[in-house]
Structure 1
Amino acid sequence: MRHVTIEQGRMEIILAPDAASACCEAAARIAAHVRATPEPVLGLATGRTMEAIYRALVGLHRDEGLSFARCRTFNLDEYHPIAPDDPRSYHAYMRAALFRHVDIAPERTRLPDGAAADPAGECRAYEEAIRAAGGIGLQLLGIGLTGHIGFNEPPSDFASRTRLVELDETTRRQNADLFDNRWQNVPRQALTMGVGTIMEARRLLLVATGAAKARIVRDALEGPVTPMVSASALRLHPACTVVLDPEAAELLDLA
């Protein structure tokens, strides 16, 4: 692993030799946080990159006894409208990828309710639940092709809180695989933690792999810090780690 620190904030960039190593590095950091923290509160993410991270965590649980019993988890986002038992929901994703394979009680996991009749009320309740849990200790993040973290599409105010948002067509196209590969079937809206909510986590861990992410990774880490690229806000966080494979890092100007 190659480690690079950039000046704005205290961001650490880890350059992994390949995508598999990047995901294992992320899983190892999450595992270290869980082991070192009496009552861990994890912020979790979804997406193809996260699947490999969760597989690695399941392996650590199975082979090394990593326990999630003391954890509480909050996911970044969920489509709207969608029922928690819909197989295309992020509730279903998390059950399949992680929750049913480890020792975490269902009542200690939470995602936004994509079927909530009162989305604004659900968002307020989500914020309150995070506060009641003592805040998120470690937030896992991916980055979308629009530069979003969570579903904070451009432009997203850096002070934004959990809310209902409109999804960019680029994002809907990117996520079409769960919807019969037809981007038109992807919901137009989602509930998401806001940028401000994400930035209140005590530590942030962003993972990006693959050449398709290279341009937006460069924009987020070396372009202007702007609401047009919500991931650029991470450069203002005091404790953010970014893990990249060579393809995702290929456009960065790192000394």
Structure 2
Amino acid sequence: MKIYRAHSYQEMSRKAANIISAQIIMNPKCVLGLATGSSPIGIYEQLVDWYNKDDLDFARVKTVNLDEYRGLDKDNPQSYNYFMHHHLFSKVNIKEKNIHIPDGMNEDAEDECKKYEELIDSLGGIDLQLLGLGPNGHIGFNEPSNCFTRKTHVVDLAEATIEANKRFFEDASMVPRQAYTMGIGTIMRAKKILMVVEGEKKAEILKRALTEEVTPEVPASILQLHPDFTLVADDAALSKLDW
């Protein structure tokens, strides 16, 4: 486990973007697992800036996203497909055929989950997976549970997750109650994992995830067992760790 401390959101974003850019430069055909939410926005802004300066080339990069709301069309402004195109894909030279996000409109959950797992396998797996940390310790949309889910699946979103995400909607009643998400097993098969965490509100759950027992009740705790896991976090998020 590698931990990098940042003194601001901007510094955290730049340090994380450095790790992703190094992956692209070392392997221009790499498969990136990408995340959404407020934490990665600064990372994507930095990557776009470097692309505009001709420091990065996305022409052969392939991407797979962690998750997507179930029931939202890809053109819905609150969908993760829309989010990724708005913050990254439309601003770099990535090929549309190389962008992969679960289809939130596929009503056949078993079919969609099976296809997404087969897709990831067909790409040779994920070279680097970017993660955020949910307020209850979830990664992707893998909520606290009594077991670790191995593969891509449909999940009922916890109230804490709905509450955290309602800021992106007009009100909480509009937040979808289900999502497609990579399973814990899918995430853990990534060759490298990079997690970014910011803010004092995440300090306690981050401490539990990194220093207490590995348990599906804190899904992110499984990352203690990954052979190449890197955390980039700000001072506030690290405030309860003696590291």
TM-score using structure 2 length? 0.98
Cross-structure match for 1:32: 22
Q: How many residues get paired?
A: 243
* Deviation for aligned residue 1:38: 4.0
Cross-structure match for 1:94: 84
* Deviation for aligned residue 1:117: 2.0
Within 5 A, what are the aligned runs for 1:65-214? 65-155=55-145, 157-180=147-170, 182-214=171-203
1:47 maps onto 2:57 in alignment? no
Question: 1:175-233 CA distances to partner (integer Å, 9 max, x unpaired)?
Answer: 012211x1221011000000000000000000001111111111111122100011000
Give the 3-state SS of the residue equivalent to 1:206 in structure 2.
strand
The 2-side partners of 1:253 and 1:212 are apart by: 17
Cross-structure match for 1:234: 223
The 1-side partners of 2:198 and 2:145 are apart by: 24
Cross-structure match for 2:7: 17
> 1:205, 1:243 within 8 Å by CA — same for their partners in 2?
yes
Structure 1: runs of 5 or more not aligned: 1-10
* Deviation for aligned residue 1:239: 0.3
Give the 3-state SS of the residue equivalent to 1:249 in structure 2.
coil
What root-mean-square deviation, in Å, do the aligned CA atoms of Structure 1 and Structure 2 show? Answer: 1.0
Cross-structure match for 1:221: 210
> 2:28, 2:58 within 8 Å by CA — same for their partners in 1?
no
The 2-side partners of 1:239 and 1:173 are apart by: 32
* Deviation for aligned residue 1:152: 0.2
The 2-side partners of 1:187 and 1:38 are apart by: 36
Question: 1:105-135 CA distances to partner (integer Å, 9 max, x unpaired)?
Answer: 1110011000002111101100000000010
Q: Which amino acid aligns with 1:200?
A: R
Q: Which amino acid aligns with 2:234?
A: D
TM-score using structure 1 length? 0.93
The 2-side partners of 1:121 and 1:93 are apart by: 24
* Deviation for aligned residue 1:20: 1.1
The 1-side partners of 2:24 and 2:102 are apart by: 23
The 1-side partners of 2:146 and 2:89 are apart by: 30
Kindly tell me: are residues 41 and 156 of structure 1, through their superposed partners in 2, closer, same or farther at Cα, counting changes over 3 Å?
Answer: farther
Cross-structure match for 1:6: none
Give the 3-state SS of the residue equivalent to 1:175 in structure 2.
helix
The 1-side partners of 2:18 and 2:193 are apart by: 14
* Deviation for aligned residue 1:17: 2.1
Q: Which amino acid aligns with 1:115?
A: M
Give the 3-state SS of the residue equivalent to 2:39 in structure 1.
helix
Percent identity over the alignment?
Answer: 45
Give the 3-state SS of the residue equivalent to 2:78 in structure 1.
coil
Question: 1:77-115 CA distances to partner (integer Å, 9 max, x unpaired)?
Answer: 001111111111000000000000000011100110000
Give the 3-state SS of the residue equivalent to 1:161 in structure 2.
coil
> 1:78, 1:192 within 8 Å by CA — same for their partners in 2?
yes
